[in-house]
Amino acid sequence: MTDKRIIFMGTPEISATVLEGLISAGYNVVAVIAQPDRPVGRKKILEPVPTKVVAQAHNIPVYQPIKIRKEYDFVSELKPDVIITLAYGQIVPQGLLDIPAQGCINLHGSLLPKYRGAAPIQYALMNNEKVTGMTLMKMVKEMDAGEMYATEEVEISPLDNSTSLFKKMGDAALRLILRALPLYLDNKLPGTPQDESLVTFAPSIKPEEEKLDLNKSKEQLFGFIRALSDVPGAYLYLDELKLKIYQSEIVSDEMIGEVGEIIKADKRGLHLQTTNGILSLLSVQLEGKKRMDYMSFINGQPHLLGKKLR
């Protein structure tokens, strides 16, 4: 195995999957750079980010600068040959990109040039794509615009949501880096420029955008619900309470009630009228309650029929 010095930059679970795989494969990971630890859960307990957990288990130093653009002098001292990033969470400054002898490479969660940006996996679901994938690319100053070295395709099942697809994408990222990294380190992996005419963007989804837009079609609502499940969960309002919707199913093109109206609430389903048909709500969570299947929800809400979600 190569003795090349590798710094890994990444923060969430998908990054931890790849980091663990690189270490297990015998790569010389000399440091991990991650976002600062943040409070999680209702009790806001400070927990180490997933990549930090992996790094500490293998006695690898972890650096967690609050603002990497201002705090990266330590990287030069580590003398990296290459930096590998995946879902780090901050824009990496040019000064840092210039440090490694063999550059910085990034695992991006789409088949570039489609879905540049912070939320490519969510956007693939939102748009009901059948296939997505990981791209290994050169890091440049412009976001996700560098030349591409290799890709790994991932099929999207109709049952996939963000949680399951992130898991698939983490596994694909690991397969991709283990296949491509030896070639890259031996300078045997030529890059291909991205076709700028095919570029699309996947910006991060803001909290105010988590509310479902009932002006959208049933297909768009179905995709959006998948994209935001299991975390943070798309929602509508039932009376004055937030109703998170974690799983749905397209039923038909029928127009029976007004848009947003609950037109069925019995053992056959919890059906919502959309602009172009009916969406069945399969898994929901009313504010202050636990997540539950539609039958459990209906049993606790006896007067749903005819109500309007907004």
Overall CATH class of domain 5-198: alpha beta
* Alpha carbon distance 58, 56 (integer Å): 5
* Alpha carbon distance 200, 127 (integer Å): 12
pLDDT of residue 39: 86
Mean pLDDT across the stretch 146-162?
97
Position 265 pLDDT exceeds 80: yes
Within 199-309, residue ranges assigned H as helices are 218-227, 294-300
Position 18 pLDDT exceeds 90: yes
* Alpha carbon distance 185, 112 (integer Å): 22
Tokens of 101: 């002898």
Mean pLDDT across the stretch 20-44?
93
Residue 204 DSSP SS3? coil
Residue 166 DSSP SS3? helix
Mean pLDDT across the stretch 258-273?
96
Tokens of 265: 């609430």
* Alpha carbon distance 4, 80 (integer Å): 8
CB count, 10 Å around CB of 148?
A: 17
pLDDT of residue 38: 87
Domain ranges of the chain: 5-198, 207-300
Mean pLDDT across the stretch 107-136?
97
Whether the link from the prior residue into 230 is cis, omega within 30° of 0, is: yes
* pTM score, whole prediction: 0.94
The proportion of the chain whose per-residue pLDDT surpasses 70, expressed as a percent, equals 100
Determine phi and psi for 108, rounding to 5 degrees.
Answer: -105, 140
Give 46-104 pLDDT, tens digit per residue: 999 999 999 999 999 999 999 999 999 999 999 999 999 999 999 999 999 999 999 99
CB environment 100-130: b (16+ within 10 A), e (fewer): beebbbbbbbbbbbbbbbbbbbbbbbbbebe
Query: Under a CB-based contact definition with an 8 Å cutoff, are residues 13 and 170 in contact?
Result: yes
Mean pLDDT of the chain: 96
pLDDT of residue 1: 62
Give 273-284 pLDDT, tens digit per residue: 999 999 999 999
Position 302 pLDDT exceeds 90: no
Give 221-244 pLDDT, tens digit per residue: 999 999 999 999 999 999 999 999
Position 42 pLDDT exceeds 80: no
pLDDT of residue 163: 97
Give 164-212 pLDDT, tens digit per residue: 999 999 999 999 999 999 999 999 999 999 999 999 999 999 999 999 9
DSSP 196: G
Neighbouring residues of 11: CB distance < 8 A, sequence distance ≥ 6: 34, 35, 49, 50, 51, 87, 88, 89
- Angle (CA) 117 112 226, round 5°: 60
Shared fold status for 5-198 and 207-300? no
Neighbouring residues of 64: CB distance < 8 A, sequence distance ≥ 6: 33, 34, 35, 36, 37, 49, 52
Position 307, amino acid = K
* Alpha carbon distance 144, 11 (integer Å): 18
The CATH homologous superfamily to which domain 207-300 belongs is: Formyl transferase, C-terminal domain (3.10.25.10)
pLDDT of residue 167: 97
Tokens of 88: 């780090």
* Alpha carbon distance 229, 151 (integer Å): 26
* Alpha carbon distance 123, 201 (integer Å): 9
Report residue 252's pLDDT band, with 50, 70 and 90 as the boundaries: very high
Do strands 82-86 and 5-10 pair parallel, antiparallel, or not at all (unpaired)? parallel
Report residue 2's pLDDT band, with 50, 70 and 90 as the boundaries: confident
Instruction: Output the CA torsion sign for 177, 178, 180, 181.
Output: positive
Neighbouring residues of 66: CB distance < 8 A, sequence distance ≥ 6: 36
